Amino acid sequence: MVTIAASLLAADFADLRGQIGLAEQGGADWLHLDVMDGHFVPNITIGPPVIRSLRRYTSLPFDVHLMIENPDLYLEEFRNAGADSITVHYETCPHLHRTVQRIKSLGARAGVCINPATPETLLSGILPDADMVLIMTVNPGFGGQSFIGTSVEKIRRTAAMARSIHPGISLEVDGGIDESTVRSVVEAGAGVLVAGKSIFGARDIPAAVRALRAAAGGA
């Protein structure tokens, strides 16, 4: 059973409430919220006020992906805004254990993300503590980019490492996930699939969620 996390980055920002409803209709499991600061990544998106406002209109879990420098400064604010999981980038956290413990102490699930150029072996020390690992399958910053093909083997290696160190951990992938790429990442071991353009860029959003699930193997 895969988890589909619909990324609002590709949604119509003038109608986020309506777009969330359509994703829900299609059976999306989580909402993925991409927070960008214009420093760690070359784009600026949303922050806690938008997340707090959306929290009133859906019971779907909020999967908050922080693409920001100094994430420690904002963890509590994102948790209070309604984040169920908070994922930070390995590349932004010099004291990663402390950050992960802080997220958990706030009552959220703690995720750790790596960019395409960051080797997965660097995650071994944090795997016992993290609830989720997120492998970027594009360089973060924008939706609608092409899936990086070499990610499939990286996901496979990460899944093998996770199985030996922390079997219960969730393995999430993000970037370029669509009907043509989803099967390969699921076969490689991914269980949480972030999808933006392939869901919200579709004419029929509920049908796009169902089609992605079917392409993932129907589970």
Which residues of the shown chain bind Zn ion in the complex (CB under 5 A)?
34, 65, 174
Q: Give ∠ CA 191-194-196 in degrees, rounded to 5.
A: 155
| Options 66, 81, 182, 194; binder of ligand DX5; rule CB under 6 A | 194
Q: CB nearer to ligand DX5: give 148 or 165.
A: 148
Query: Is residue 121 packed enough to be buried (19+ CB in 10 Å), middle (13-18) or exposed (0-12)?
Result: exposed
Q: Is 71 in the site for ligand DX5 (CB under 6 A)?
A: no
Q: Is 145 in the site for ligand DX5 (CB under 6 A)?
A: yes
CB-based contact 137:147 (threshold 8 Å):
yes
Q: Is 34 a catalytic residue?
A: yes
Q: Which amino acid is at 85?
A: S
CB 74, min distance to ligand DX5, A? 17
**Catalytic residue, candidates 34, 37, 131, 178:** 34
CB-based contact 130:111 (threshold 8 Å):
yes
Q: What is the CA radius of gyration of the chain?
A: 16
Which residues contribute to the site for ligand DX5 (CB under 6 A)?
7, 9-10, 32, 34, 65, 138, 140-141, 143-145, 174-177, 194-198
Which residues does the annotation mark as catalytic? 34, 174
